A = this chain, B = another copy of it.
């Protein structure tokens, strides 16, 4: 199954000139969802992963299934105010302004090895902030797993000290 054909391109979302890669059509297709999970699993089957981090909120979808497949826990990284317990936060730069992500302070333990999962790698700001959260708690980032990578935004350069695996690549909008 060709995963690219399962991703819908939505022009001008969320703003004019941006071609949004809509993965709801992939997730809504049973065989495509299974294939994307099979491929992400294969990429990291050589590692002993202790937990899978999912970045709010489409990242939850793939992170949860991967964690379940491996029989390990899934840990949400969320926008401010969503997590109920004690947490740490990381603020990062956007093109205009900043954004913040939070993680429960007891979500990972020192020495654990975690995989960070999101649906899409764009500029890598969110991904890098998530890695910092993990590392501040003393855990190790085994790598990143993305379904889609927008190569032309060069997010991979932002994550150059990490292993980055993506299933589908786009060279341009």
Which A residues form the contact surface with B (CB < 8 A)?
8, 10, 13-14, 20, 22, 24, 27-31, 33-34, 37, 51, 54, 56-58, 60-62, 64-65, 67-68, 70-76, 81-85, 104, 107
In the complex, what residue of chain B is closest to A12 when comparing beta carbons? Answer: B84
- Pick from B30, B76, B85: contact of A67, CB under 8 Å: B30
B71 pairs with A51, CB closer than 8 A: no
Q: How far is the CB of A56 from chain B (nearest CB, A)?
A: 6
Q: Which residues of B contact A75 (CB under 8 A)?
A: 24, 27-28
Chain A interface mostly helix, strand, loop or mixed?
Answer: mixed
CA distance A107 to B75 in the complex (A): 27
Counted per complex, copies of this chain come to 2
A-B contact pairs, 5 of them (CB 8 A): A24-B83, A30-B67, A33-B64, A64-B64, A64-B65
How far does the Cβ of A50 sit from chain B's closest Cβ, in whole Å? Answer: 9
Give bound CA distance, A113 to B18, whole Å.
34
Alpha-carbon distance A84/B75, docked complex (angstroms): 26
Q: Could you tell me the distance between the alpha carbons of A73 and B28 in the complex, rounded to whole angstroms?
A: 4
Report yes or no: A33 in contact with B85, Cβ–Cβ below 8 A.
Answer: no
Q: A33-B68, A64-B60 are known contacts. Are A107 and B73 too (CB-CB below 8 A)?
A: no
Which residue in B8, B34, B60, B71 is a CB contact (below 8 Å) of A85? Answer: B8
Chain B residues with CB below 8 A from A70, complex form: 30
Given contact pairs A57-B60, A62-B64, A64-B60, A33 touches B84 in the complex (Cβ within 8 A): no
